[in-house]
A and B are shown apart, each in its own frame.
Chain A
Amino acid sequence: MSMTLLVNVSYVIAAILFILGLKLLSHPATAKKGNLTSALGMFIAIVMTLLHRDIISYELIFAGILIGGVLGAWMAKRVEMTAMPELVSLFNGFGGLASLLLGLSTLTIKQTDTLTITTMVIAYISILIGGVTFSGSLIAWAKLGGRMASKAIIFPGQRWLNALVIITAVALPFVIATQPFTLNWFYIAIGLALVFGILATIPIGGADMPVVISLLNSYSGLAATAAGLAIQNNILIVAGLLVGASGIILTQIMCKAMNRSLMNILLSGFAKPIEPGEKIEGEIKALSAEDAFYVLEAAQSVVVIPGYGMAVAQAQHAVKELQELLEKNGAEVAYAIHPVAGRMPGHMNVLLAEADVPYEQLYEMDAINPRMDSFDVAIIIGANDVVNPAAKEMKGSPIYGMPIIEAHRARNVFVLKRSAAAGFAGVDNPLFFKDNTRMVFGDAKDTLNTVIREFGD
């Protein structure tokens, strides 16, 4: 009995350390300590669980932890910072799968006659959420890594199939509650969950991925909470909900930054094709990288606005090199980061941190917009929709109302881009036609390196 108490006390300590860890994550200077605090909590909980009175053999537990731990460590060491959204998606999926397996394992115990209807229904919920998280995350992982086309996939009858899956999933608990116990109902639940995870993720396009990842992150936590309810374990409930809350908040932030509702994003693939809006007047003016150098050399203040294209071109190190040259030349350099730039929340910040850009120089959209007029040059690298003034000026535009980084208000705007094609949303960008905008065509990294070479001469 006292052993059980000891194990439970360790869970309370673990919960405290998780919470303290998240609290320390509120500032970059203490964040690393926060992560270690959280890891310590997890370590204590794992070690103390070994004292659990039901555990009689340890070989398989240690073997499992060793296999999983080595695999996890290998993935964590190997991953490129540009590929972080894929890794997080994969981990979301594994979290969901673990909860599914745990939920199912509560139903396969020896004395199935002790199973109450409540336990069965809760296990069913953990299987459902875990399954959706797993298959949905695998699709997100495949889309992000280019293993499948990142555009929305739609097929005829998809809505009806969705409706059918949802109705079956809602009806099944009633069957479970009224019919004699058999695992078959739960195998059906696994099938439904996996199918629904796929159906829900394939109609969502590449630029909406930050929302999908955040949402799946939340699900992986909620799946752990449901599994915790099934096995009546407090620490699973608390930790799972912390993760669930985190994912939900990030999802809200992403939706707000795109000025769209969650429903609108989840069903975006089903929306009608975008009608071409108002005609944009003006012409596109190109500039060579060499000429861009002369303007930058004279600039007193420069703001860099990165987007997913910077990650694709792996241009973050070249950006940092240019920043140093500009600063040596006496200019102030700031970075403006839109909440949905990149493929997951905070993606750009991590890439720039990797290139040793100090975090004080990274500004959020609301912090940089008021002083945008004071910048001599705004350099846009691989971003498009997040700087599209149509969001402010063109009422008919599909992105009208979305908060943007107001790059067009800088004295000069350089857009580093492969071509003048529209952004992901298929929306024309009037920024390219503004008087103060110059397009520097070509690979962003090559362009930056050319400018850097000019500084050297």
Chain B
Amino acid sequence: MELIYLLFILVLAGFLGFELIHKVPATLHTPLMSGANAISGVTLIGAMVSAGSDNNHLTTILGVAAVIFASVNVVGGYMVTNRMLSMFKSKQKNKEAQQ
């Protein structure tokens, strides 16, 4: 793939990111960050290829190590975000829960 094509995607994704994140209210900024942790674990996808391909030992070792750390982020990030977001309740729901 040509670099210029990748840069094009990069610029568009950047603008889209700014538009989307600006709409997240302050009350959700902590879950936003932990959710972002999970998304940054996307390196797992590249790491899987490094870890599973026919390569020399060093590449495989680096790949597996990257798989481990990225998996911590993906699983831990989504789980802790889910845990936090489950605690955010509206007045209505709070009352229902108490009854």
Any B CB within 8 A of the CB of A289 = no
User: Taking CB as reference atom, which chain B residue is nearest A52?
Assistant: B49
Q: Could you tell me the distance in whole angstroms from the C-beta of A115 to the nearest C-beta in chain B?
A: 13
Most buried by A among B60, B66, B82: B66
A25 touches B26 (CB 8 A): no
Any B CB within 8 A of the CB of A362 = yes
Contacting residues of chain A (237-294) with chain B, CB-CB under 8 angstroms:
237-250, 253
B65 touches A237 (CB 8 A): no
B46 touches A345 (CB 8 A): no
**Given known contacts A64-B64, A68-B71, A236-B45, is B31 in contact with A35 (CB within 8 Å)?**
yes
Interface extent on A, as a size class?
35 or more
Residues of B within 8 A of A58 (CB): 52
B38 touches A42 (CB 8 A): yes
B76 touches A60 (CB 8 A): no
Any B CB within 8 A of the CB of A6 = no
Residues of A within 8 A of B87 (CB): 81, 350, 353-354, 356
B32 touches A347 (CB 8 A): no
A231 touches B49 (CB 8 A): yes
Contacting residues of chain A (115-134) with chain B, CB-CB under 8 angstroms:
118
Any B CB within 8 A of the CB of A170 = no
**Given known contacts A64-B51, A72-B71, is B79 in contact with A45 (CB within 8 Å)?**
no
Contact check: which of A76, A87, A239, A350 meets B39 at CB < 8 Å?
A: A239
Contact check: which of B40, B45, B55 meets A220 at CB < 8 Å?
A: B40
User: Taking CB as reference atom, which chain B residue is nearest A345?
Assistant: B29
Contacting residues of chain B (62-88) with chain A, CB-CB under 8 angstroms:
62-88
Cα(A359)–Cα(B27), bound, Å: 8
Residues of B within 8 A of A236 (CB): 42-43, 45-46
Cα(A38)–Cα(B78), bound, Å: 8
Most buried by B among A35, A61, A106, A233: A35
Q: Could you tell me the distance in whole angstroms from the C-beta of A385 to the nearest C-beta in chain B?
A: 18
B23 touches A26 (CB 8 A): yes
Any A CB within 8 A of the CB of B99 = no
Q: Could you tell me the distance in whole angstroms from the C-beta of B60 to the nearest C-beta in chain A?
A: 7
Q: Could you tell me the distance in whole angstroms from the C-beta of A103 to the nearest C-beta in chain B?
A: 9
B33 touches A359 (CB 8 A): no
Residues of B within 8 A of A39 (CB): 38, 78, 82
Contact digits for A351-365, partner B, Cβ 8 Å, 1 yes 0 no? 001101011111010
Contact check: which of B13, B62, B70, B73 meets A241 at CB < 8 Å?
A: B13
Residues of A within 8 A of B17 (CB): 241-246
Residues of A within 8 A of B86 (CB): 32
Q: Could you tell me the distance in whole angstroms from the C-beta of B95 to the nearest C-beta in chain A?
A: 9
Cα(A118)–Cα(B2), bound, Å: 11
Any B CB within 8 A of the CB of A205 = no
B47 touches A350 (CB 8 A): no
Contact check: which of A18, A56, A101, A360 meets B65 at CB < 8 Å?
A: A101
**Given known contacts A60-B64, A232-B6, is B27 in contact with A346 (CB within 8 Å)?**
yes
Contacting residues of chain B (12-53) with chain A, CB-CB under 8 angstroms:
13-14, 16-18, 20-53
Any B CB within 8 A of the CB of A50 = yes
B72 touches A91 (CB 8 A): yes
Residues of B within 8 A of A55 (CB): 48-49, 52-53
Contact check: which of A31, A79, A337, A361 meets B80 at CB < 8 Å?
A: A79
Contact check: which of A11, A245, A349 meets B28 at CB < 8 Å?
A: A349
**Given known contacts A68-B70, A108-B56, is B90 in contact with A345 (CB within 8 Å)?**
no
Cα(A79)–Cα(B14), bound, Å: 32
Cα(A105)–Cα(B10), bound, Å: 22
Q: Could you tell me the distance in whole angstroms from the C-beta of B1 to the nearest C-beta in chain A?
A: 5
Cα(A79)–Cα(B83), bound, Å: 10
Cα(A214)–Cα(B22), bound, Å: 14
A249 touches B42 (CB 8 A): no
Given contacts A97-B69, A346-B33, A361-B91, 4 further A-B contacts (CB under 8 A): A70-B75, A76-B75, A108-B62, A233-B45
For the complex of A and B, list the 3 residue pairs with the smallest distance between their C-beta atoms, beginning with the closest.
A68-B71, A72-B76, A245-B17
Query: Which residues does A use to contact B, with CB under 8 Å?
Result: 11, 18-19, 21-23, 25-29, 31-32, 34-36, 38-39, 42, 45-46, 49-50, 52, 54-58, 60-61, 63-65, 67-73, 75-77, 79, 81, 84, 87-88, 91-92, 94-95, 97-99, 101-102, 104-106, 108-110, 118, 213-214, 217, 220-221, 223-225, 227-229, 231-250, 253, 337, 339, 344-347, 349-350, 353-354, 356, 358-362, 364
A–B pairs, 8, beta carbons within 8 Å = A49-B49, A61-B64, A64-B71, A101-B62, A105-B50, A237-B6, A246-B33, A349-B27
Query: Which residues does B use to contact A, with CB under 8 Å?
Result: 1, 3, 6, 9-10, 13-14, 16-18, 20-56, 58-60, 62-91, 93-94
